[in-house]
Amino acid sequence: MSTDLSADLASFAVRPVPFDEWVDIDTLVHRSSVTSGDFDYVLRPLCPDCGAEAEIEYETLDMEEDGGREVISALVCGACRVLWEPDQPDE
């Protein structure tokens, strides 16, 4: 069930995730699928509220040494209308 939610995300509830937990999510979900090698699997996050598969939103970081790197910017549950994103530290 993959839908284009980008136009509708403004109405979703936003839940912040602490930065160190977000790094773990990015490592487990994104990096494992990129580096799975001979294995044919991709880890998919599930919504903790309803158990539905969450959609993954990516962004590309501009890094001079490698020309950019994709990271997970948000996890979205269309069923619950919730968006999880990394907690922004106070500046």
Q: What confidence tens digit (pLDDT) does each residue in 22-59 have? A: 888 888 877 666 555 565 666 788 998 999 999 988 88
Q: How far apart are CA 25 and CA 48, in angstroms?
A: 13
pLDDT, greater one: 85 or 5: 85
The pLDDT value given to residue 2 = 42
Which residue carries 């995300």 as its tokens? 9
Query: Strand order of the sheet with strand 82-86?
Result: 13-17, 82-86, 69-77, 55-61
pLDDT band (50, 70, 90) for residue 13: very high
At residue 9, the 3 state secondary structure works out as: helix
- Rounded to 5 degrees, what are φ and ψ at 80? -90, -10
What is the average pLDDT across 6-32? 82
The pLDDT value given to residue 15 = 94
